[in-house]
């Protein structure tokens, strides 16, 4: 039953349309930047095994095909055909696409959705907007220009996203910063940019300004939480650090989406229980932790997280393989967890089916106001 | 065999004797304050499923009865009959009851015990004593009055409890504060109270003063650790932060009880291994994490915690359902963990039975000096 | 198949050759300093059950022999015979032995290896070298003498080790300290030692000086991470705190070995994924967490850690029992994890066998340049 549910992927990126050599392919497989001299090939990871197991048959190969055989077949079919096959097999009906990362190198939301006949919605990355604004405006114009850009974005985008975890950590102050504080911080940043430093937002006040501006606009706000590449200071990406901000936004009618969360997914489950406006997933993790790991991690999230708070995402980026592996592993993990509770008699079968529908897409429909959904009623 | 063991619930609260409407019932189910607009009904949580599964049959309904059906039947039977049935079914022989929370709204220890024919003991909350004292005394009288109250309490209470985690976090200094420091802090607090601020202890020095005063009196001291409601800063409730205080109290012959601990229960297990005076439980968590989750969480606690250090508690509060669910889930989880180790041949059956008796009540009898117990000898 | 693999124990200590009474034996069993009045005997721990289950038969007793029976038999056979039997049964081919702890009380690397016919290599503890140097040299001579000692050690040792986690925590600055900073810190420490304080390195600058000196010499560097005795501040032993140093050393061609890691082993797995020069194990944990726990903990490490980054260690110290229990539990856990992934079809059997060989010893051979190894190729 879970195999047939259309999924809402509430957080992903586009895919690369160029042909990739083996090193480039491996560098997009997991959070390692590239294969190195010590660990050997990156196919020797859970996600590497999963690609060979799950994607090879979709391309017409035996399961567990060797890496070079897989890449040869991939080249033979061409990236578009590979993407079409893998996205179709994933069974994802809607994609919410973060367009603020690797712009230009990845497909647009519409291109992505076209591969599978699904629908696409844009998620606007707050820090990218600010970085674009600071490059072309003086400090005095920074705040109003950002505000205007976000207002405009809110008319077409489905949500905002913050990568505060990467830049300043999640230990944000709770309050909206004053106009004076924003101006001072913008002036400092503007001076750095004028002096030739890379245009990279890493100021806590400005990040907070962006978040509160987004809160005013009423769209859901996604936060990168937990694992990412070596650029994250992972101990500053613990969602518990967000508690002051979550308290401050609890009555603002704005859903806050905590993405990934691993290895802090139990912390995220706790937050989803005590804050009604918090939604959680274990995206990115599920395709990376192996088959047994996926069921374990999802089960751990479902310890405390209310059924109505759990979402599906792939965080697929670059490789269409990641969407397919994420979807298969998510479906399998969800079935394992629900079957176990049903088999023990802890949940009724009807409750299990209803929970599956909510997690696969109903909750996302409700939180993002995506239209027809399965509401969490009796 | 585990099903027949009488349990010592070493940490709980009283129950509400008034009839509850659905919103009030849901608001007592888990750590969420109340159902909200985003997640839907709070019956869609592991503890919600568990109440429908485990408590409905005790009230004469089918397992998995719908929420409204359950609440109708609850109203029909009346709260006293419901409480009697659920507490009797729980098989708890002794209740150690924290009387410092929602005083007046909940049953007293004796009332609670009367429902099930068990015995009750009072646990005195340190912060509540201090809050009572500061309201009626000047700063100079604060310390001696607190001391006198705690001395008096120690004649009848079975233990003390601190909610430092909620107020100042567990990163307490190790040392006993000086009289001068206590006076200064009391004077500051007294002035705040006089100025009309809510009477709420949130001063690290005064919390530490209370703890050391309790240490002098020789009773076990319980600490809230890990999950609680949105009022906890969960990242300050990690038991590892207590290490300096645990080192400072290691030779004082006073057991320190770490309550709940989830999601830091592996940290708690470590502390129980390296400090002989530390006892641990996963109360509150077990009824909240589902059937599979309960076995997993207890197993994780038992990775490092010596058998002689593990206790049972419900943290039942408000709803008698929580006592019943906690007891059933605890027995089942313990049986699963012990059966798995026995079936693999890792533990002898005799060791498993002995461990079950210790964890169900023998350790609590020894630590709280509750009278006849199963001592941890060969 | 896993049962027959020769193991490389990349982190251990020597064993005690004197006869031990029961209290002394229990005090070496786990991380508790000694049995105390509250928890009862330390045989009531997972490692205590494991010794009775796994070691008793090697000494000719029934499995689950009572503690006193076990210790009587141990005395009857004599420590050398017991050590010979247990180390031979462990199937460890190579021992990398930290010689900086309890020097004099434990066997040397060659003595240890002689018991089992294996090979031994010395690991030099950086802090022990510095403590030896500060005792006999003035502050000006400290840095050059340390450097010279480490250069000399690098000619015979297989690796260096730091116990920064015990002394200053893992939140180290990333940079190599200046000569002036090292001189100032050495002068302060030298003055403390001259004033009669115990010779114990607990200065962050000097620890960092030692680490960077070791980096220059190109040998792998081991770090104590995660659980240890009550002397560790466990929350400062989270491997995520090492991220700045790991970034700073990523291009230095020096493998960094994160030892133990529990309960932060998922954090360690993340670091192994994003840093090619990071290797990880769950040594010390596996013998302490029970049979079910060992499989769970190893599975959690293997969620993110690339196959090429995972090592085996016992952290055996004092008791030969710990080597045997660690080896049996490791083999069993590895078999359980690989069988589960193979049975589900997630990994091919050939991939599982190859992964087992890499983790049991191939990765250690490559990282420590131990000679013939199974390279991680197709």
| Model confidence band, residue A376 (pLDDT cutoffs 50, 70, 90) | very low
- Statement to judge: residues C240 and C351 lie in one domain: yes
Residue C374's pLDDT is: 41
Q: Which residues contact B30 (CB under 8 A, 6 or more apart)?
A: A273, B42, B45, B47, B48, B288
- Tell me if A375 is assigned to some domain: no
Q: Calculate helix-pair angle for B320-343, C290-304, nearest 10 degrees.
A: 90
Q: Answer whether B150's CB lies under 8 Å from B160's CB.
A: yes
pLDDT, tens digit (0-9, with 9 covering 90-100), for B43-76:
999 999 999 999 999 999 999 999 999 999 999 9
Mean pLDDT on C204-229: 98
On whether the CB atoms of residues C121 and C158 are closer than 8 A, the answer is yes
CB contact under 8 A, A233 and C243: yes
Residue B93: strand, helix, or coil: strand
Mean pLDDT of all residues in B337-356: 96
Any chain C CB within 8 A of the CB of B169? Answer: no
Asked if residue B312 belongs to a domain, the reply is: yes
The closest CB to that of B243, out of C45, C50, C233, belongs to C233
pLDDT(C230) > 60:
yes
Q: Does A337 touch chain B (CB under 8 A)?
A: yes
Residue C321 and residue C220 in one domain? yes
| A235 contacts on C by Cβ (under 8 Å) | 238, 240-241, 243
Clarify whether residues C55 and C111 are in a common domain: no
Rounded to a whole number of angstroms, the CA Rg of chain B reads 21
* The pLDDT of residue A372: 59
Nearest-angstrom CA–CA distance, B96 and B281: 14
pLDDT band at B1 (very low <50, low <70, confident <90, very high): confident
Share of chain C above pLDDT 90, in %: 94
ipTM surpassing 0.90: yes
A278-292, B90-104, C320-334: range with lowest mean pLDDT: B90-104
The C-alpha atoms of residue A9 and residue A259 are separated, in whole angstroms, by 12
Residues B34 and B116 in one domain: no
Confidence category of residue B232, pLDDT binned at 50, 70, 90: confident
Question: Is residue A282 in a domain?
Answer: yes
Backbone torsions φ then ψ of A151, nearest 5 degrees: -60, -45
C274 and chain A: CB distance < 8 Å anywhere? yes
Would you call C259 exposed, middle or buried from its count of C-beta atoms within 10 A (0-12, 13-18, 19+)? Answer: buried
Count of domains observed in chain B: 2
Please give the residue that has the higher pLDDT: either B85 or B3.
Answer: B85
Q: What is the pLDDT of residue B126?
A: 98
Contact between C267 and A234 using a beta-carbon 8 Å cutoff: yes
Q: Which pLDDT score is estimated for B372? A: 59
- A257 & A289 share domain: yes
Q: Tell me, what's the pLDDT at C372?
A: 59
Contact C233/B at CB under 8 A: yes
| B321 — pLDDT class (breaks 50, 70, 90) | very high
- In-domain check, residue A374: no
Torsions phi, psi of C375, nearest 5? -70, 150
Confidence band, pLDDT 50/70/90 cuts, at residue C371: confident
Q: Are C154 and C218 in contact (CB under 8 A)?
A: yes
Task: Say what the pLDDT of residue A373 is.
Answer: 43
Direct distance between the N- and C-terminal alpha carbons of chain B, in angstroms, rounded to an integer = 20
Predicted pLDDT of residue B133: 97
Tell me the pLDDT tens digit for each residue of A50-69: 999 999 999 999 999 999 99
Angle at A279 between CA A277 and CA A283, to 5 degrees: 165
CATH number at residue C100: 3.20.20.140
Both B15 and B26 in one domain: the answer is no
What pLDDT was estimated at residue B375? 41
CA-based radius of gyration for chain A: 21
Query: Is residue A2 in some structural domain?
Result: no
Across the range C29-50, mean pLDDT stands at: 96
Listed residue (B68, B34, B76, B28) closest to B52, CA to CA? B68
Residues A340, A272, single domain; the answer is yes
Average pLDDT in the A341-347 region?
95
Question: In which domain, by residue range, is C59 found?
Answer: 21-77
**Same domain (yes/no): A49, A123:** no
Contacts A–B by Cβ distance under 8 A: 120
Contact between C114 and C93 under an 8 Å Cβ cutoff? The reply is no
Token pair listed for A40: 């050997």
State pLDDT tens for residues A226-274: 999 998 899 999 999 999 999 999 999 999 999 999 999 999 999 999 9
The reply to whether residue C39 touches residue B344, judged by beta carbons under 8 angstroms, is no
Residue C158's pLDDT is: 98
Instruction: Enumerate residues 6+ apart whose C-beta is below 8 A from A68.
Output: A22, C378
Do B25 and B15 fall within a single domain?
no
Residue-wise pLDDT for B250-287, tens only, equals: 999 999 999 999 999 999 999 999 999 999 999 999 99
Judgement on whether residues C130 and C179 belong to the same structural domain of the protein: yes
Predicted confidence (pLDDT) per residue in C103-148, tens digit: 788 999 999 999 988 999 999 999 999 999 999 889 999 999 999 9
Among the partner-chain residues A303, A377, A378, the one whose CB lies closest to the CB of B46 is: A303
Q: Closest residue of B to C35, CA-based?
A: B276
C375 pLDDT band, cuts 50/70/90, is very low
Neighbours of C, requiring at least 3 CB pairs below 8 Å, are A, B
Mean pLDDT of chain C: 95
CB C279 to CB A53 under 8 A?
Answer: no
Q: How many CB atoms lie within 10 A of CB B333?
A: 25
Spell out where A102-212 has E strands: 119-125, 159-162
Nearest-neighbour CA in chain A from B139: distance (Å)? 32
- For residues B115 and B47, state if they share a domain: no
Full 3-state SS string of C2-48: HHHCCEEEEEECCECCCCCCHHHHHHHHCCCCCCECCCECCCCCHHH
> Which of A38, A47, A48 best tests the C interface by mutation, with the highest count of C CBs <10 A?
A38
Query: Which pair of structure tokens corresponds to residue A172?
Result: 């944000």
Number of Cβ within 10 Å of residue A339's Cβ equals 15
Q: Before C237, cis peptide (omega within 30)?
A: no
Place of tokens 């993110």: C304
Q: Got the DSSP string for C237-303?
A: --GGGGHHHHHHHTTTT--EEEEE-TTSHHHHHHHHHH-TTEEE--TTHHHHSHHHHHHHHHHHHHH
> What Rg do the C-alpha atoms of chain C give, in angstroms?
21
- H or E element, residue A321: helix A320-343
Identify which of A67, A233, A290 has the shortest CB distance to residue C346. Answer: A290
> Do A306 and B44 lie within an 8 Å CB cutoff?
yes
The chain A residue lying nearest C238, using CA atoms, is A235
pLDDT digits (tens, 9 = 90+) for A92-123: 999 999 998 887 889 999 999 999 889 999 99
Q: Is the CB of residue C326 less than 8 Å from the CB of residue C289? A: no
Q: What is the mean pLDDT of residues C283-291?
A: 97
CB contact under 8 A, C32 and B274: yes
B321 to A121, B55, B90: CA distances (angstroms):
44, 6, 9
Are the beta carbons of B274 and B240 closer than 8 angstroms?
no
Q: Do B32 and A267 count as a contact with CB atoms less than 8 A apart?
A: no
Q: What is the pLDDT of residue A101?
A: 84
Place of tokens 């360690």: C268
Which residue in A has a C-alpha nearest to residue C306's C-alpha? A45
- Mean of the pLDDT values across residues A4-27? 96
Q: What's the rounded mean pLDDT across residues B84-98? A: 96
Residue C95 in any domain: the answer is yes
Q: Is residue B343 part of a domain?
A: yes
Tell me, yes or no, whether B64 and B159 share the same domain.
no
For residue B377, pLDDT over 50 is answered with: no
pLDDT in tens, C310-336: 999 999 999 999 999 999 999 999 999
For chain B, give the mean pLDDT: 95
Chain A residues touching residue C306 (CB < 8 angstroms) = 32, 39-40, 42, 44-45
Q: Is the residue at A262 inside a domain?
A: yes
- pLDDT of A374 reads 42
Could you give phi then psi for residue B75, rounded to 5 degrees? -65, -40
Asked if B38's CB is within 8 angstroms of A308's CB, the reply is yes
What pTM was estimated for this model as a whole?
Answer: 0.97
Closest CA to B161 of B33, B243, B255: B255
**Partner residue facing B243 (CB), from C30, C234, C289:** C234
Helix, coil or strand: residue B74: helix
């Amino acid at each position: 039953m879970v195999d047939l549910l259309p999924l809402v992927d509430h957080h992903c990126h586009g895919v690369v349309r160029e042909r990739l050599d083996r090193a480039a392919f491996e560098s997009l497989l997991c959070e390692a930047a590239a294969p190195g001299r010590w660990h050997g090939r990156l196919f020797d990871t859970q996600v590497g095994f999963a690609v060979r197991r799950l994607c090879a048959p979709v391309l017409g190969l035996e399961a567990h095909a060797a890496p070079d055989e897989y890449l040869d077949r991939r080249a033979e079919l061409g990236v578009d055909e590979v993407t079409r096959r893998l996205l179709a097999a994933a069974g994802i009906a809607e994609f919410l696409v973060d367009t603020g990362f690797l712009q230009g190198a990845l497909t647009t939301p519409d291109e992505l959705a076209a591969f599978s006949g699904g629908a696409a919605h844009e998620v606007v990355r707050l820090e990218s907007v600010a970085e674009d604004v600071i490059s072309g405006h003086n400090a005095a114009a920074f705040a109003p220009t950002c505000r205007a850009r976000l207002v405009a974005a809110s008319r077409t985008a489905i949500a905002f996203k913050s990568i505060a975890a990467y830049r300043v950590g999640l230990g944000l102050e709770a309050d909206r910063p004053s106009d004076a504080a924003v101006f001072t911080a913008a002036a400092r940043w503007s001076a750095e940019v004028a002096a030739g430093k890379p245009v990279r937002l890493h100021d806590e006040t400005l990040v907070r300004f962006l978040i509160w501006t987004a809160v005013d606009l009423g769209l859901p706000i996604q936060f990168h939480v937990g694992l990412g590449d070596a650029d994250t200071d992972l101990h500053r990406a613990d969602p518990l650090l967000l508690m002051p901000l979550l308290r401050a936004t609890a009555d603002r009618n704005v859903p806050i989406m905590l993405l990934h969360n691993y290895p802090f997914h139990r912390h995220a489950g706790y937050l989803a229980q005590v804050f009604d406006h918090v939604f959680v997933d274990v995206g990115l993790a599920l395709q990376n932790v192996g088959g047994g790991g996926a069921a374990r991690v999802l089960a751990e999230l479902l310890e405390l997280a209310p059924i109505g708070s759990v979402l599906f995402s792939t965080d697929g980026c670059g490789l269409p393989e990641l969407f397919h592996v994420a979807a298969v592993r998510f479906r399998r993990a969800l079935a394992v967890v629900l079957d176990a509770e049903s088999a023990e008699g802890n949940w009724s079968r009807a409750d299990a089916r209803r929970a599956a529908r909510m997690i696969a897409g109903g909750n996302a429909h409700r939180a993002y106001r995506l239209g027809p959904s399965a509401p969490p009623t009796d």
